């Protein structure tokens, strides 16, 4: 099984490693919605549970949830840029002003820009999936306003 994963890894050559500890299917679905392509998510992103045994060769970014702990830097990671997310102060993509009343809305602060995010009914774990997907979009060069608009539920 590990050999198959290595073959897939070298075939895909993803540039982004995302440490997941949440609902992987939800993260992939939201990221595909933001990027308008599930193929781009599969090509550009390697999802892992832990970075201890990962190869960082030709990786550009490491994305992880700052609320759930830090990632110990290894010598291999020296050229990898890190992007964090969470509610905790110090996260690169910091969620704040969470309100849940019939729907969920919160704000994301990134590099001094504050963008509102509106979701349908969801829990806190879904917010982490959204933050992960937004971080992927940011790394791939998408505008936060455009990302926010792709996440806004359509009202009838």
Q: Does the structure show a pLDDT above 80 at 5?
A: no
Question: Measured on CA atoms in the order 115, 60, 76, 134, is the torsion positive or negative?
Answer: positive
CA-based nearest residue to 95, from 72, 121, 125? 125
Q: Is residue 156 part of a domain?
A: no
Q: What is the pTM of this model?
A: 0.83
Q: Is 122 exposed, middle or buried (0-12, 13-18, 19+ CB in 10 A)?
A: middle
Q: Report pLDDT digits (tens) over 138-147.
A: 999 998 999 9
Q: Does the structure show a pLDDT above 90 at 7?
A: no
Question: Considering its fold, how many domains does the chain have in total?
Answer: 1
Q: Report pLDDT digits (tens) over 46-98.
A: 888 877 767 676 778 889 898 887 776 655 566 788 899 999 999 999 999 99
Residue bearing the bigger pLDDT, 96 or 17: 96
Domain span at residue 72?
A: 2-151
CA-based nearest residue to 16, from 109, 139, 100, 122? 139
| CATH number, domain containing residue 136 | 3.40.1190.10
């Amino acid at each position: 099984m590990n050999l198959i994963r290595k073959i897939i890894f070298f075939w895909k050559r993803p540039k982004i490693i995302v440490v997941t500890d949440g609902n992987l299917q939800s993260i992939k679905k939201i990221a595909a919605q933001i990027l308008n392509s599930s193929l781009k998510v599969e090509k550009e992103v390697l999802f892992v549970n832990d970075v201890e045994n990962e190869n960082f060769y030709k990786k550009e970014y490491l994305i992880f949830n700052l609320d759930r702990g830090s990632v110990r830097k290894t010598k291999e990671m020296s050229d990898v840029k890190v992007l964090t997310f969470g509610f905790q102060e110090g996260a690169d993509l910091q969620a704040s002003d969470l309100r849940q009343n019939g729907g969920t809305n919160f704000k994301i602060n990134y590099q001094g820009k504050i963008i509102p995010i509106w979701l349908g009914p969801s829990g806190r774990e879904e917010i982490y999936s959204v933050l992960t997907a937004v971080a992927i979009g940011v790394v791939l060069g998408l505008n936060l306003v455009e990302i926010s608009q792709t996440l806004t539920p359509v009202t009838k």
